[in-house]
Amino acid sequence: MINYDFSGRAAVVTGSGGGMGLALAQAILKAGGQVVMIDVKPKPDGIADSPRCIYAQGDLTDAKFVSNTIDSAFKKFGRIDYLANVAGVLWFGKDVSLLDIDLDLWDQVMNINLKSMVHTIRAAVPHMRKSGGGAMVHFSTIQCLRGDSKPQDAYVAGKAGVSAISKSIAMQLAAEGIRSNTIYPGVTHTPMQARWDSDEKLQQVADYVPMRRIGTPDDLANAAMFLLSDGASYITGADLIVDGGLMLKY
């Protein structure tokens, strides 16, 4: 196990009401960091009130809410060093082929999965500049790297845009010591995957992965911790696939 020291550093983590975002926020806190956790969901159990942690419940598509939340965190912590965009929605049964999808739903998915990232970056970067640099990690999906017989086109289009924005902002901010990288999760057991509701289904999914197991939120949090840490100080504009080898099958 790698031990990180994030003491004296402050992070913004979206989608931290559960799953990968929650695991990452907890990892940063365990490493001594300070975190503002943002999610539309209520504060999860196990997150105790602490001077090092702010939980902000609200809508990431609301630019004013995002800006006010991150500004308040900067005032409380005195700095913003990290931004992790983990939030996203995957609406099975409604997010379908672009040939059939309701376009209002398309816009809603794009606002949550992609435009919210614009809000958080615009709000966090001025504070990173004041803090002398920083690092960002944005969560995409391996699904946007290939086609799918059961398409979720709004989801994959938005998540493909995540990497494009990450690379663009990485180039723009590299000389200022602000890094930006993208993680592509494979199949991961989070509340988003409620459809895997039996041991049999979980085993079927695990058997399809070359490493013969489903990813955990901690697997993805560990990858994000590395990319945020000083150990990745010469890495920016990169894409990291964390999928147990699943993309090797395509």
> Is residue 204 domain-resident?
yes
> Is residue 2 domain-resident?
no
- 123 φ/ψ angles, rounded to the nearest 5 degrees: -80, -35
> Is residue 3 domain-resident?
no
pLDDT tens, position by position, 139-177:
999 999 988 888 999 999 999 999 999 999 999 999 999
> Is residue 5 domain-resident?
no
For the chain, the DSSP string reads -PPP--TT-EEEEESTTSHHHHHHHHHHHHTT-EEEEEESSPPPTT---BTTEEEEES-TT-HHHHHHHHHHHHHHHS---EEEE------TTTS--TTT--HHHHHHHHIIIIIHHHHHHHHHHHHHHHHT-EEEEEE--GGGGS--SS--HHHHHHHHHHHHHHHHHHHHHGGGTEEEEEEEE-SB-SGGGTT--SHHHHHHHHHHSTTSS-B-HHHHHHHHHHHHSGGGTT--S-EEEESTTGGGG-
> Is residue 86 domain-resident?
yes
> Is residue 143 domain-resident?
yes
Quote the pLDDT of residue 190: 67
Quote the pLDDT of residue 191: 67
Q: Which domain holds residue 174?
A: 10-249
- pLDDT beneath 50, residues of the chain: none
> Is residue 198 domain-resident?
yes
Whole-angstrom distance, CA of residue 227 vs CA of residue 236: 9
Catalytic positions: 155
> Is residue 214 domain-resident?
yes
Residues contacting residue 30 through CB under 8 Å, at least 6 positions apart: none
- CATH number, position 165: 3.40.50.720
Q: Considering its fold, how many domains does the chain have in total?
A: 1
